[in-house]
Amino acid sequence: MDLLNFLLEDFFVTGQPLIYGAMVSIVLVSFAIVFVLTYFKKWGWLWREWLTTVDHKKIGIMYIIAALAMLFRGGVDALMMRVQLTLPGMEFLDSQHYNEIFTTHGTIMIIFMAMPFLIGLMNYIVPLQIGARDVAFPFLNALSFWSFAFGALLFNISFVIGGSPDAGWTSYTPMAGANLNPGPAQNYYLMGLQVSGIGTLATGINFIVTILKMRAPGMHMMRMPIFTWSTLITSIIIVFAFPILTVALALMTIDRIFGSHFFTLTGEGMPMMWANLFWLWGHPEVYIVILPAFGIFSEIISTFARKQLFGYKAMVYSMVVIAALSFVVWVHHFFTMGAGGAVNSFFSITTMLIAVPTGVKIFNWLGTMYKGRIRFDTPMLWSLAFIPCFVIGGVTGVMLAMAAADYQYHNTYFLVAHFHYVLIAGTVFGCFAGLTYWYPKMFGHKLNEKIGKISFWFFVIGFNICFFPMYFLGLAGMPRRTYTIEPEWMPLNVTASIGAVLMAIGFVIFVYNIYYSFRYSKRETTGDAWDGRALEWATTTPVPFYNFATLPHIDGSEAFWRLKERGGSTYETDKLKPIHMPSDSGVPFIMMALMFVASFALVWEWITLAIVGLIGVIVCMVIRSFDYDDGFYVSVDEIKRTEEKAREGEQ
Amino acid sequence: MKEIYARVKRWAVLPAFALLLLTGGCAELTVLDPKGPVGESQKELIMFSIILMLFIVAVVFVAFTYMIVKYRDRPGRDEKDYDPNHHGNTTLEIVWTVIPLIIVTALSIPTVQTIFELEEAPEASSDKEPLVVYATSADWKWFFSYPEQGIETVNYLHIPTDRAVEFRLSSADSMASLWIPALGGQKYNMAGMENTLYLQADEEGTYQGRNSNYNGSGFAAQTFEVHAEGEEEFRDWVAEVQSEAPELTQETYDELLVPGLLEEMEFSSTHLEYVDHGTNEGRDYLIERHKDAFEEPLHLKGGRGVEDE
């Protein structure tokens, strides 16, 4: 009886028709998946091919699929918010429900959509671009993915089990502390981010080592493709920034679950320390999600302008400068905390300085198009749309950096408009551009151009209609995170909501295009779908699991372009040697599943179960430590067979 | 022919933008129509930056349009202006590094000046002592204490025009931010700490104020009205509150602190006599009394405010 009470009152979220609907659909979809897998006898396939894989390409694809699912979830959250904000006095969501939704929207879009999407693309592309057979630590890579996947799962179940966190993605203390925010909801935020953060940190380390140690012979640092450079710099930011988040989350977890006083009002805690720690990680974080997008745009603009990248060195150095500056600007997120004139002046200037390297990049992209011969395929359209939209986001960012003016913009829709202009025009356009661009490499066919363009125009026009009015809403005094609007803000809010609907249509068309192209697109016969320039286009499509049969000697930047000019190939029969590859392993999946159990228990403060789960994790580590399987060799015969089959279409 | 079509397309974009600006113009842009010197200096800074930024946007947009029109792949294009090996121009790159640096400098100087200016009471009224008002946020209402007048109000305040108001900001629980957009920018209210914010109204009128920093389920309703009136009228109002309003006993105050919404109220004494939440001693005052009152969040529906219920 007690158990039933607990289940109905605390464990399951009750009383919300929308959430009942979600529960029913979750149960139905789960049954459908189980049924399909069982009916088609696919359980073994799923385990062997996906759950235990250490192949960077498959891991990349899993990241991207998960990120698209999260984009859907975060997008539904966004649409619900737009419905509630369209008219004054709207009763679609109450204040508490609205707060939960904007919290999950922000957290999911940054942590579980933007980052995994980009990490997915990095996973697939970077080893190919540098001529590697996999990442440096394939096992760790699988561990990264499963830690992200289970972290995302943990965060997402909160809305049907226990309630969603409602303290905003920034979760400022003391509001997010145990006193003002009791219950398990906020613990989901802490544990979800903690578990997935392990994976992100590991990914950062993995890519640094991969890029530094596994480049093809002759590929100096200054010959690396620019997307690889952006990945390297991003990884370095990750390695420096994520430990801060890990520590901050751990401190707040200990506060909430074990009653310590790091960020509490009682017992001499320092609530404002959280804001500092959060943004010490949080500001580098936004560069973690923008720099890879910059890399993607550079690749695409150069390919479709059919020219070398303009100012390669300047592009690299500007990314380095941006990365360095990203660690000395965090206070601009709370100029209004009253730190005094000197502090605010310092952080105003450092923040504005970021505009300089970013401006250099913008002009270099324009320079890349100068004297080019521009084709307007869908990936290029996304990249071109990025430039003007991002400039609007960038200049308003400079305006926000001016502390004295920021006292008026802070916490308003002006800020909301700004960061959506940089994050959507930068990161989301970048993800769509990158996915469309590398799609033929990943899946053996292009996405349909016509449908792709329709989806592009819906999304980009919708995006501008949705977010441009928000600048004016901010100047009209509309605070962010309010669940209800004043009558005078209505016209602009109606406009914004119309834009949101157009974006949603664009997204649906994009997803439909995946299905349509799977059915009807022409299959790729060569590995080089767009007349590409970097090494990822040198392999066949589909990419063999060992990536390259042989590696050419790299004698300059744009390795594949040079290879094509002199008629070389990545299949030179006289140079064939057995290839050493890592073995698959089920340990990462099981270990992170146990971590999930432990974290879920911590969310509910069931300490015994948490300890049991953690012991399971440690046992997995021990098993791994005594695992002497150091991979296998692919024989020359097998390489020959694979390559010959894949290259049939070429001649 | 195609060239003309491209041009028409380009110009068609402009009316669309104009329309958007027009809808923007319809809403009252409070921040750009300030009623006091603080908001005024911020508005000047904002307008200055907007002009510079529009210049940058124009340069980039023109260059962008030029590139994608002139260098698009089209049949019959002159082969001479396709140069696949063109990969940089040091002079140009220096130019577009230095010009942004100059722009950033041009923005930094007035920014830093204004930052320091706003740390002090506005010069326009330096002949008068600022009126001190303790603005305390508690989930989800505002207490305004006038220590010199010995009165306290809840969720509204009166201020005299042409005289600086020195807000001493603090919070009894979560972090809030006091913002009266018509008068000027905001600053945080934090428990156990005191921030000072100077604002001033030059025109009489009623202005909207609010907590702009999200702090939970009652956030949207944590608003207040500012009545700016002549010195004379302000004094009358003070006298009226002093003589007619009840005293704010500690017991009443403790009850008012329970998380929730309150109507407008006034008292003829202030809570500063027994607790100042802006000091280290006062930071856990509310938590010690109402720790368990946060179990159930508010579920506000529809419009804001208690009046609507």
Q: Is B78 left (phi over 0), alpha (psi -120 to 50) or beta?
A: beta
pLDDT higher than 90, residue A445: yes
Residues in chain A closer than 8 A to B69 (CB atoms): none
Q: What's the whole-number mean pLDDT along residues A411-437? A: 98
Residues B107 and B155 reside in one and the same domain = no
CA distances from A295 to A127, A325, B12 (A): 15, 18, 32
Q: Is the peptide bond before B140 cis (omega within 30 degrees of 0)?
A: yes
Residue B23: the pLDDT is 53
- Identify whether B304 is part of a domain: no
Residues A125 and A19 reside in one and the same domain = no
* Residue B160 in contact with partner chain A when CB distance is under 8 A: no
pLDDT higher than 60, residue A603: yes
Q: What's the whole-number mean pLDDT along residues A561-569? A: 89
The model's pLDDT over A495-535, given as tens digits with 9 standing for 90+, comes to 999 999 999 999 999 999 999 999 999 998 888 999 999 99
* Residue A317 in contact with partner chain B when CB distance is under 8 A: no
CATH of the domain at B108: 1.10.287.90
Residues B288 and B219 reside in one and the same domain = yes
Residue of chain A nearest B280, judged by CA positions: A268
Does the beta-carbon distance from B82 to A406 stay under 8 Å?
no
* Residue B242 in contact with partner chain A when CB distance is under 8 A: no
Cα–chain center distance at A628 = 34
Does the beta-carbon distance from B117 to A404 stay under 8 Å?
yes
* In A211-258, beta strands by DSSP E: none
Residue among A407, A481, A492 whose CB faces B185 most closely: A407
Residues in chain B closer than 8 A to A408 (CB atoms): 31, 39, 42, 46, 181, 184-186
The pLDDT-based confidence of A4 (bands split at 50, 70, 90) is confident
Q: What are A43's two structure tokens?
A: 């359980």
Backbone angles phi and psi of B132, in degrees to 5: -90, 125
Residues A170 and A267 reside in one and the same domain = yes
Q: Is A233 helix (H, G, I), strand (E, B) or coil?
A: helix
Return residues 123-142 of B near A (CB < 8 Å).
139
- Identify whether A529 is part of a domain: no
Q: Among A318, A324, A388, A401, which Cα is nearest to A356's? A: A318
Residue B85: the pLDDT is 86
* Residue of B175, B193, B292 for testing the chain A interface, max A β-carbons within 10 Å: B175
C-alpha to C-alpha distance for A192 and A169, rounded to whole angstroms: 12
Residues B287 and B152 reside in one and the same domain = yes
Residues B168 and B95 reside in one and the same domain = no
Residues B144 and B49 reside in one and the same domain = no
- Identify whether A370 is part of a domain: no
Question: Cα A274–A256–A269 angle (5° rounding)?
Answer: 45
Residues in chain B closer than 8 A to A168 (CB atoms): 214
Residue among A404, A469, A492 whose CB faces B118 most closely: A404
Residues in chain B closer than 8 A to A384 (CB atoms): 64, 68
Size of interface A-B (CB pairs under 8 A): 318
The pLDDT-based confidence of A55 (bands split at 50, 70, 90) is very high
The model's pLDDT over A128-186, given as tens digits with 9 standing for 90+, comes to 999 999 999 999 999 999 999 999 999 999 988 999 999 999 999 999 999 999 999 99
Residues A17 and A85 reside in one and the same domain = no
Q: Among A601, A595, A536, A600, which Cα is nearest to A570's? A: A536
Q: Are A591 and A584 in contact (CB under 8 A)?
A: no
* Number of domains, chain A: 2
Residue B307: the pLDDT is 45
Q: Are B206 and B225 in contact (CB under 8 A)?
A: yes
CATH of the domain at A253: 1.20.210.10
* Residue A181 in contact with partner chain B when CB distance is under 8 A: yes
Q: Among A613, A628, A294, A263, which Cα is nearest to A431's? A: A294
**Amino acid found at B41:** S
Q: What are A47's two structure tokens?
A: 């385990």
* Residue A531 in contact with partner chain B when CB distance is under 8 A: no
pTM of this structure: 0.94
- Identify whether B11 is part of a domain: yes
Instruction: Give the end of a domain, one of A276, A291, A306.
Output: A291
Does the beta-carbon distance from B83 to A272 stay under 8 Å?
no
Does the beta-carbon distance from B287 to A266 stay under 8 Å?
yes
Q: What's the whole-number mean pLDDT along residues A425-433? A: 98
Residues B138 and B104 reside in one and the same domain = no
Domain that holds residue A19: 1-41
Instruction: Give the end of a domain, one of A291, A317, A339.
Output: A291
CA distances from A440 to A446, A455, A548, A627 (A): 5, 18, 17, 37
- Identify whether A37 is part of a domain: yes
- Identify whether A299 is part of a domain: no
Residues in chain A closer than 8 A to B193 (CB atoms): 272, 338
Residues A28 and A154 reside in one and the same domain = no
Q: Is B173 left (phi over 0), alpha (psi -120 to 50) or beta?
A: alpha
To the nearest whole angstrom, how far is the Cα of A2 from the nearest Cα of chain B?
A: 20
Residue among B57, B63, B216 whose CB faces A366 most closely: B63
C-alpha to C-alpha distance for A264 and B39, rounded to whole angstroms: 34
Residues A84 and A224 reside in one and the same domain = yes
Q: Are B187 and A407 in contact (CB under 8 A)?
A: yes
Residue A391: the pLDDT is 97
* Residue B46 in contact with partner chain A when CB distance is under 8 A: yes
Residues A65 and A26 reside in one and the same domain = no
Does the beta-carbon distance from A345 to B302 stay under 8 Å?
no
The model's pLDDT over A364-376, given as tens digits with 9 standing for 90+, comes to 999 999 999 999 9
- Identify whether B101 is part of a domain: yes
Q: Is B75 helix (H, G, I), strand (E, B) or coil?
A: coil
Return residues 169-228 of B near A (CB < 8 Å).
169, 173-175, 177, 179, 181, 184-188, 190-193, 195-196, 208, 210, 212-221
- Identify whether B123 is part of a domain: no
Q: What is the dihedral of CA A453, A458, A463, A469, to 10 degrees?
A: 140
* Residue A87 in contact with partner chain B when CB distance is under 8 A: no
Burial of B260 (0-12, 13-18, 19+ CB in 10 A): middle
Q: What are A231's two structure tokens?
A: 């990945």
Residues in chain B closer than 8 A to A271 (CB atoms): 175, 190-191
Q: Residue for token digits 């390489």?
A: A639
Residues A86 and A206 reside in one and the same domain = yes
* Residue B98 in contact with partner chain A when CB distance is under 8 A: no
CATH of the domain at B211: 2.60.40.420
Please report which helix (H) or strand (E) contains residue A123, including its range: helix A115-129
Residues B184 and B62 reside in one and the same domain = no
* Residue A89 in contact with partner chain B when CB distance is under 8 A: yes
Residues A5 and A87 reside in one and the same domain = no
To the nearest whole angstrom, how far is the Cα of A478 from the nearest Cα of chain B?
A: 9
Return residues 360-419 of A near B (CB < 8 Å).
360, 362-364, 366-367, 369-376, 384, 387-388, 391-392, 395-396, 398-399, 402-408, 410-412
The model's pLDDT over A81-121, given as tens digits with 9 standing for 90+, comes to 999 999 999 999 999 999 999 999 999 999 999 999 999 99
Residues A32 and A60 reside in one and the same domain = no
To the nearest whole angstrom, how far is the Cα of A370 from the nearest Cα of chain B?
A: 6
Q: Among B53, B27, B30, which Cα is nearest to B43's? A: B30
C-alpha to C-alpha distance for B70 and A373, rounded to whole angstroms: 9
- Identify whether A184 is part of a domain: yes
- Identify whether B230 is part of a domain: yes
**Amino acid found at A525:** T
C-alpha to C-alpha distance for B232 and B237, rounded to whole angstroms: 9
* Residue B119 in contact with partner chain A when CB distance is under 8 A: yes
Residue B9: the pLDDT is 45
- Identify whether A35 is part of a domain: yes
Instruction: Give the end of a domain, one of A223, A256, A291.
Output: A291
* Number of domains, chain B: 2
Residue of chain A nearest B116, judged by CA positions: A341
- Identify whether A403 is part of a domain: no
Residue B5: the pLDDT is 45
- Identify whether B250 is part of a domain: yes
Residue A17: the pLDDT is 80
As a whole-number percent, the residues of chain A with pLDDT over 70 amount to 99
Residue partners of A258: CB distance under 8 A and separation at least 6: none
Residue spans of alpha helices (H) in A521-648: 559-566, 587-603, 607-625, 636-646
The pLDDT-based confidence of A19 (bands split at 50, 70, 90) is confident
**Amino acid found at A523:** R
Residue among B77, B208, B291 whose CB faces A477 most closely: B208
* Residue B39 in contact with partner chain A when CB distance is under 8 A: yes
* Residue A494 in contact with partner chain B when CB distance is under 8 A: no
C-alpha to C-alpha distance for A441 and A454, rounded to whole angstroms: 22
Q: What's the whole-number mean pLDDT along residues A310-334? A: 96
* Residue of B43, B107, B137, B295 for testing the chain A interface, max A β-carbons within 10 Å: B107
Q: What are A56's two structure tokens?
A: 């960077």
Q: What is the DSSP letter of A496?
A: H
* Residue A243 in contact with partner chain B when CB distance is under 8 A: no
Residue among B104, B184, B284 whose CB faces A356 most closely: B104
* Residue B78 in contact with partner chain A when CB distance is under 8 A: no
Residues B48 and B154 reside in one and the same domain = no
Residues B94 and B142 reside in one and the same domain = no
**Amino acid found at A227:** F
ipTM: 0.92
Residues B287 and B144 reside in one and the same domain = yes
- Identify whether B309 is part of a domain: no
Contacts 24+ apart (CB under 8 A), A519-526: A520/A448, A521/A445, A521/A446, A521/A447, A521/A448, A522/A445, A522/A446, A523/A444, A523/A445, A524/A440, A524/A444, A524/A445, A524/A446, A525/A649, A525/A650, A526/A649, A526/A650
Q: Residue for token digits 């129509």?
A: B33
Residue A414: the pLDDT is 98
Residues B43 and B161 reside in one and the same domain = no
Domain that holds residue B186: 128-299
How far apart, in Å, do the first and last CA atoms of chain A sit?
73
Q: Among B185, B182, B207, which Cα is nearest to B195's? A: B185
Residues A34 and A66 reside in one and the same domain = no
Instruction: List, for chain B, all residue ranges whose pLDDT scores fall below the cut of 50.
Output: 1-2, 4-15, 24, 305-309
pLDDT higher than 50, residue A435: yes
Residues in chain A closer than 8 A to B174 (CB atoms): 172, 174-175, 180
Q: Are A370 and B63 in contact (CB under 8 A)?
A: no
Q: What is the dihedral of CA A472, A478, A484, A487, to 10 degrees?
A: -60
Residue B229: the pLDDT is 97
Residue A199: the pLDDT is 96
